[in-house]
Structure 1
Amino acid sequence: MGIKIVQRHGKSLKDKLYIPAIVGGMKTTFTHFKKNLGDVSNLRTMQYPEVQPTDITERYRGVHRLTKWEDESEKCVACYMCATACPAQCIFIDAEERFDGVAEKRPKEFKIDLLECVFCGYCVEACPCDAIRMDTGIFSFTASKREDFVVDKERLMSHERSKDFDDE
């Protein structure tokens, strides 16, 4: 009937105890430990955050920013395209009516949860107004509370374009 019988490995007592695998792993660990203890110049350790990484490519997607018009108002028209395209569903927008004639509406609230964000860039690609970008060059962000990772509209608009992206 086309049934293939596959023999199961690990039937011996030696394989069931996992002792040889553990000993082999410990042997590898202690070999590296002994080698690195004698010559620390081979270690690839960086004193972060005092020393920042230099091997980040120019294609890296940093933290988001919202772009502005010349009059410092946001370009976002609260179309929800970025929130719809986001696979992590970490963008939250609450729209309000806009009376300055630039657009029909604008975001009353615009929040991005950076702990849920996967930094895929789909929000940037989906935005029809070029209102959201990921060119800040900020690759490291820390906080002591979860709430500090939820970035609001004011903070997103305060992020500047990184000087590394100016030549594009």
Structure 2
Amino acid sequence: MAIKVVPRYGKSFKDKLYLPAIAGGMKTTFKHFIKNLSDIDNLKTMQYPEVQPTDLNERYRGVHRLTKFDDGSEKCVACFMCATACPAECIFIEAEERFDEHNEKRPKEFKIDLLECVFCGYCVEACPCDAIRMDTGIFSFTGSKREDFVLDKKALMANERAKDLE
């Protein structure tokens, strides 16, 4: 089998200077700048956070929530399917026995670290009892310290489905 020699480009003095490539990039940038400056009313810029997006559909993945039964107890059965499916490993569950008519166990602790979460939705797909959802419509989540971004069971159950997504 013969060895194929691949020629390397960029050995000339002109290519080593990078000036032609920089000039080509600046030409493209200025072309877009002039086009946008001449038609400023057609710019699609949103003044976030003063103006919130209105084009969210039902498939949008916002902050998580835990669904509840009619009596207010959580639907989660602490099966760890969501934590197993999570590629970021940001879901932490501790199970306990349940003494009501719904299920055999429930989460004693259920925490999601939003700083580690990649909002992929695998936890929602993996849940066999539809206990976790990402339909809150909350996409702008702020906090002053790291602990503010770790949502526990109480906070997750307090999150409601976005009214405009229903």
TM-score of the pair, normalised by structure 1:
0.88
Q: CA deviation at 1:163?
A: 2.2
CA apart distance, 1:38? 4.3
Paired position in structure 2 for 1:8: 8
| 1:77-107 C-alpha deviation (Å, 9 max, x unpaired) | 1111110111111111111222234322211
> Is the CA contact (8 Å cut-off) linking 2:67 and 2:157 kept in structure 1?
yes
Letter in 2 for 1:109: E
Task: Tell me the residue number matched to 2:117.
Answer: 117
Taking the aligned partners of 1:24 and 1:144, their CA distance within structure 2 comes to 43
Counterpart position of 2:160: 160
Counterparts of 2:55 and 2:79 in 1: how far apart (Å)?
36
- CA offsets per residue over residues 5-31 of structure 1, 9 Å max, x none? 111111101101111111221222233
Q: Could you give the per-residue CA deviations for residues 47-70 of structure 1, whole angstroms, max 9, x where no partner exists?
A: 111211233333212211101112
Corresponding letter in the other structure for 1:28: T
User: For the Cα contact (< 8 Å) 2:78–2:106, is it kept in 1?
Assistant: yes
Normalising by structure 2, we get a TM-score of 0.89
Give the equivalent residue in structure 1 for 2:20.
20
Matching residue of 1:92 = 92
What is the root-mean-square deviation in Å for CA atoms of aligned residues?
Answer: 1.8
Change in Cα spacing, 1:131 to 1:3, as seen in structure 2 (3 Å) is same
Structure 1 2/57 Cα, relative in aligned 2: closer, same or farther at 3 Å? farther
Unaligned runs of 5+ in 1: none
Q: Report the count of equivalent residues.
A: 166
What CA distance in whole angstroms lies between the structure 1 residues aligned with 2:144 and 2:157? Answer: 22
Counterparts of 2:13 and 2:56, CA distance in 1: 49
1:44 aligns with 2:41: no
Alignment of structure 1 residues 139-154 onto 2, 5 Å:
139-154=139-154
State the identity %: 80
Q: Give the match for residue 71 of structure 1.
A: 71
153-162 or 55-64, which deviates more: 55-64
State the distance in 2 between where 1:124 and 1:3 align: 51
Is contact 2:76–2:131 with CA below 8 Å preserved after alignment?
yes
Q: Name the SS for the 1:82 alignment partner.
A: helix
C-alpha separation in 1, matches of 2:23 and 2:60: 40
